[in-house]
Amino acid sequence: MIQLPENVATRIEYSRTWNGVEVNRHESQCTGRVSFRLLRNEGFARVGALLDEQGRHHLEARTAQAMPNPHGYRPKGLYLAPAEMPLWGHSDHCRFLNCAVLSFHPASLAERLQIAGAPRVAAIPRLRFFDERLWTLIRLLTDAIPDVDPAAQLYGDALTAAIAAKLFDPPQAPKGSERRLSARQLRDAISLLEARLPAKVELAELAALAGVSQAHYSRAFKASTGLAPYQWQLNARMTQAKDRLLNSSDSLTDIAHATGFADAVHFGRTFRKLVGASPAAWREDRRR
């Protein structure tokens, strides 16, 4: 049994890995002052975000237990800790914490995502900084941890690539000026995605096929199709599902499994969200 820090009554942890980035979310119920050392993997830098908190005092990152953070508090704070830097989380009084930590090996991330500046930037500590778009991307990524849908692979890959580009890359071109995929690159992408349906596909494989970085690929694919890769894949699975609903007597459970959904409930929830009706109602309406 894992021993919890003082005044942490319960802790729930979720984790998943995309693009070699270990994504962790910790939700803790607390009863007062908390001060705990953040564990780290050898050689791994960390980016952290405070997603939510309740209590009389704000949580802050510290390099030593008794050394307060020198930077003033603002909502949606972030920190960047180099691989060798010790880090503590501290609050004089809190009742609930929801924190995200992304751990990565800077050199490996630079190679995988083709971001040469990652090791250099990741070596500079930032105990408290603010970037609302980056905070939002991290929140979206941690929300996707429990998602079992195959499209979550491309979704998480794209988010980790976007987070890394935001942290380590120079500013991108103005919105609306994104380059599109060439006709061959788009044809190759569609062929691969269609051949793998309904299984998950990694963004790294699509980007390598086109010979570009993942961050560039996500932007170029959307500029070319109007959809992010994960949205295109999910829509293609929905098209398959609709075909089976109309042209077969398969049960919803069978159709769900054939199109990559965990079960009929998962299928029905996603279908209703995208189509606006339940699969059964949609099938009945079109068979009249």
Work out the burial of residue 108: count CB atoms within 10 Å of its CB; fewer than 13 is exposed, 13-18 middle, 19 or more buried: middle
| Residues above pLDDT 90, as percent of the chain | 91
Asked whether residue 176 carries a pLDDT value surpassing 70, the answer given is no
Asked whether residue 1 carries a pLDDT value surpassing 90, the answer given is no
Out of 82-86, 154-158, 166-170, 233-237, least confident range: 166-170
Please count the other Cβ atoms lying within 10 Å of the Cβ belonging to residue 105: 21
| Stretch (H or E) spanning 94 | strand 88-104
The pLDDT of residue 41 is 86
Taking only the tens place, the pLDDT of each residue in 28-59 is 999 999 999 988 888 999 999 999 999 999 99
234-238 mean pLDDT = 97
Structural domain spans, the chain = 9-143, 151-221, 232-286
Asked whether residue 13 carries a pLDDT value surpassing 90, the answer given is yes
Out of 14-18, 166-170, 187-191, least confident range: 166-170
Mean pLDDT of the chain: 94
Work out the burial of residue 154: count CB atoms within 10 Å of its CB; fewer than 13 is exposed, 13-18 middle, 19 or more buried: buried
CA-CA-CA-CA torsion sign (37, 38, 42, 47): negative
Taking only the tens place, the pLDDT of each residue in 75-127 is 999 999 999 999 999 999 999 999 999 999 999 999 999 998 899 999 999 99
The pLDDT of residue 175 is 53
**Six-digit token string for 150:** 């195959």
250-270 mean pLDDT = 96
- Taking the C-alpha atoms of residue 99 and residue 27, their distance in angstroms, rounded to an integer, is 7
Q: What is the CATH number of domain 9-143?
A: 2.60.120.10
Asked whether residue 284 carries a pLDDT value surpassing 90, the answer given is yes
- Taking the C-alpha atoms of residue 51 and residue 233, their distance in angstroms, rounded to an integer, is 29
Asked whether residue 278 carries a pLDDT value surpassing 60, the answer given is yes
Topology of domain 232-286 in CATH is Arc Repressor Mutant, subunit A (1.10.10)
The pLDDT of residue 112 is 95
Q: What angle do CA 234, 235, 241 make, to 5 degrees?
A: 90
Confidence of residue 172 (pLDDT cuts 50, 70, 90): low
The pLDDT of residue 131 is 96
Spatial CB neighbours of 100, under 8 Å, sequence gap ≥ 6: 23, 24, 25, 26, 48, 49, 51, 138, 139, 141, 142
The pLDDT of residue 288 is 76
Helices (H) and strands (E) in the chain, counts: 11, 7
Asked whether residue 174 carries a pLDDT value surpassing 70, the answer given is no
CA-CA-CA-CA torsion sign (38, 48, 21, 26): positive
The pLDDT of residue 170 is 62
First to last CA, the chain: 58
